[in-house]
Amino acid sequence: MIKVENLHRHFGGFHAVDGASLEIREGSITGLVGPNGAGKTTLFNVIAGVLPPTSGQVTMAGEEITGMSPHELFHKGLLRTFQIAHEFSSMTVRENLMMVPGGQSGETLWNTWFGRKRIADEERALQAKADEVLEFLTVDHLRDEKAGNLSGGQKKLLELGRTMMVDARIVFLDEVGAGVNRTLLNTIGDAIVRLNQERGYTFCMIEHDMEFIGRLCDPVIVMAEGRVLAEGTIDEIKANEQVIEAYLGTGLKNKGAAE
C-alpha cells in the first residue's frame, strides 16, 4: 500500500530520518514503535506531505506521492491524525466532521450564490453521515458541543471520526492512545478494528502503549535513530535483542544480565 524507500529528512546537521525503508501492507494495522527521537513522527510528517523529504521516495499503491501537499494526499485517501489532537475549536463537533470532505460544491464562490439547491442537498447528506459517524463512535451526545470544549480523549475520537467522513484508504494515527483513559481507549481500539475489518481501512499507528499495540497491530515495525530496526509480530519484537538494546540502552542490558 505504502512503500517508503531510503527516506532521509535532515534538520541542519540532525538526521531525524536517516535512510528509512519500510512497507505498509494493504489491510493491515501496522504499529510503529521506537524510543523517543527515533524519527517516527518525522516519518509521518514526510509521508503525509507536511514536510518535504531531503531525499528518498514514497509511493502509494505504486504511484509516487513524494512531496505532495496534504490536501492532495487527502483526495487520494491518505489521512492522518495528530499527536496532540487538532480541531476547529469554534465549530461544533458535527460542523467539524462536516468540514472534512473536500471538493464540496459550496466551496466555489459561484455556487455559494447560484448553486444553493445543490449545496443544500449535499449538506443534508453530509449531516446524515456525520450523525452516523458519531453514533459509530458512541459519542452522538456531543454532537452540538463546541469542539474546543471536548476532553483530550474525545478530541482523539473526533480525529478518528474525521477519517470516517470520507472513504479513506490509509490512515496514519499519531499516538491516538496517549493521555486517553482506559474506557475511551477501548472505544478507540474497537473503532479501529471495526474500521479495518468492515471498511477495509489500512492503519499505521505510532504508539507507546505496548499492550494496546499488542492487541491491535500486526506487524509491528521498530524504528531507532531514523532507521527501521526490526519488523515482525509483537512477540517477535519483544524477543528481539537489538530492540531491547535500543530501548534500554547497552548499559542497562548488561546490568540486567549481571543481576
C-beta closer to other proteins: residue 56 or 106: 106
C-beta closer to other proteins: residue 90 or 181: 90
C-beta closer to other proteins: residue 103 or 256: 103
- Minimum separation from the CB atom of position 195 to other proteins (A): 17
C-beta closer to other proteins: residue 112 or 197: 112
C-beta closer to other proteins: residue 122 or 245: 122
- Minimum separation from the CB atom of position 12 to other proteins (A): 16
- Minimum separation from the CB atom of position 35 to other proteins (A): 25
Question: What's the per-residue H, E or C state across the chain?
Answer: CEEEEEEEEEECCEEEEEEEEEEECCCCEEEEECCCCCCHHHHHHHHCCCCCCCEEEEEECCEECCCCCHHHHHHCCEEECCCCCCCCCCCEHHHHHHHCCCCCHHHCHHHHHHCHHHHHHHHHHHHHHHHHHHHHCCCHHHCCCEHHHCCHHHHHHHHHHHHHCCCCCEEEEECCCCCCCHHHHHHHHHHHHHHHHHCCCEEEEECCCHHHHHHHCECEEEEECCEEEEEECHHHHHHCHHHHHHHHCHHHHHHHHHC
- Minimum separation from the CB atom of position 74 to other proteins (A): 4
- Minimum separation from the CB atom of position 32 to other proteins (A): 18
Provide the binding-site residues for other proteins, judged by CB under 8 A: 48, 50, 69-71, 74-75, 79-80, 82, 86-91, 95, 99-109, 112, 119, 123, 162, 166
